[in-house]
Amino acid sequence: MAQYDVIIIGGGPGGYNAGIRAGQLGLKVAVVEKRVTLGGTCLNVGCMPSKALLHASELYEAAAGAEFATLGIEVKPKLNLVQMMKQKGESVTALTKGVEFLFKKNKVDWVKGAGKIVGQGKVEVTAEDGAVTTLEAANIVIATGSEPSPLPGVEVDQKRIVDSTGALSLPEVPKSLIVIGAGIIGLELGSVWRRLGAEVTVVEFLDRITPGMDAETAKTFQRSLTKQGIAFKLSSKVTTAKAGKSNVSLTVEPVAGGAAETLTADYVLLAIGRRPYTEGLGLESVGVVPDKRGFIPTDHFKTSAPGVWAIGDAILGPMLAHKAEEDAVACIEMIAGKWGHVDYNLVPSVVYTSPEVAWVGQTEEQLKEAGVTYKAGKFPFSANSRAKINHETEGFAKVLADAKTDEILGVHIVGPQAGEMIGEYCVAMAFKAASEDVARTCHPHPTRSEAGRQAAMGVEGWTMQA
């Protein structure tokens, strides 16, 4: 029986970062992963391949549409979908191989197969060929991630009705695509296929898109997507989906009641969220009971069982790769006898569409509900010199700060490179910065980041560029 200090079940952003950190701290560590490659959903069929297609489709649309022509570049691009998918695959392979290299560098053992807890300190690994190996360790970390949530009446066949994995590898550009769910994943993948030529309709149960996003930001974002050609059917629920040889028929009903209608499309993408992947892990063998949604209850990553820990999408909190990485570092450092902590209020969210949307901290709605008195500063990208020069003037940066102390409580950006810009505010908020701290910090000119500074100035009413 192989002996370790730590066994990690799952090789995604939570699991592989936990393995690397454990190796750095001198712990004898094994990561159990059943995929043929490391990296989990994020590297293999999530964050990374979707960004590859988002980037490629944005360049294609720029060349095919008015953007290149406006810049004086006259071309007539031809879409080669096979090559677009090939380069996506090559990028993903390079990343997963990179994680393998990091494992070797940090002396992390990758045990290939499906892991299952079979008692305190014991993990049974079943390889693809059926061979079973038992590992033993004082600490077991569950980092099994999540999977797409199902919807009754809509059966994913990965042919005509696909989830996020299938939507990354469609064999053709659909003439029409219906996306069920107006969350981040659905909007990102919907925008990819819209740019490549599909007619895209998004059906959403709620009366708004992107739940959890600041309401003003979400409205601006929806207007932009609508202008790009994406149609929205809000306050609507899908009750059935029937896949044929060449299309799918959906039955859609108003949430408030009323007559149902039938929508037809070449393909349907089901993207209503994700659920923790915690079944079949042998949790019952150590007395760990997930909640009704499948999340494992924890107290600073500790489960109810001694020596069993859980991180990432398997526990409550934002289901994001970078959150899982923070969990991983904190959990392993606690196992190693150090202090570990994650401030979930400072985990940023990003939608990698065009324009991008990024936010961190509290929304205006949350602050109002909590009775917090705040001030808001807002600056439009239409007044930002770099955005103007680059013809990317949609959106704004908004800073929310405590009315008494001026501490930054939330930042919301919809516009170019929003995902890159939000990092400045993550750092600022981690150090309890005031809006004035950012407002009085010199930013390079001309850059998009100046919009964030001008928004900070706006908290106290001295925005200078608009």
Closest CA to 142 of 22, 21, 298: 298
Tell me the C-alpha to C-alpha distance, in Å, between residue 315 and each of 30, 146, 297: 21, 10, 7
Residue pair 362/345 in contact by the 8 Å Cβ criterion: yes
Helix 321-335 × helix 13-24 angle, to 10°:
30
Residue ranges, the chain, pLDDT below 70: none
In whole angstroms, what is the distance from residue 438 CA to residue 362 CA? Answer: 18
pTM for this structure? 0.96
- Hey, CA dihedral for 129, 131, 135, 141, is it positive or negative? positive
Distance CA 117, CA 408 (A): 44
Choose, from 300, 341, 391, 445, the residue flagged as catalytic.
445
Determine contact, residues 266/174, Cβ cutoff 8 Å: yes
Q: What is the per-residue pLDDT for 450?
A: 98
The reply to whether 391 belongs to the active site is: no
Q: Cα separation of 204 and 394, whole Å? A: 24
Q: Which of 392, 401, 375 is nearest to 451 (CA)?
A: 392
List, in sequence order, every residue forming a beta bridge with 379; answer none if it has no partner. 397
- The torsion of the CA quartet 277, 283, 287, 290, rounded to 10 degrees, works out to 10
CB count in 10 Å sphere of residue 316:
15
The per-residue DSSP string of 191-226 comes to HHHHHTT-EEEEE-SSSSSSTTS-HHHHHHHHHHHH
CA–CA distances in Å: residue 74 to residues 66, 78, 326, 365, 392: 10, 13, 46, 46, 19
Q: What is the pLDDT of residue 111?
A: 98
- Name the phi and psi angles at 140, rounded to 5: -120, 130
pLDDT of res. 113: 98
* CB-based contacts of 239, cutoff 8 Å, min separation 6: 153, 251, 252, 253, 260
Among residues 151, 152, 147, 176, which one has the least CA distance to residue 164?
147
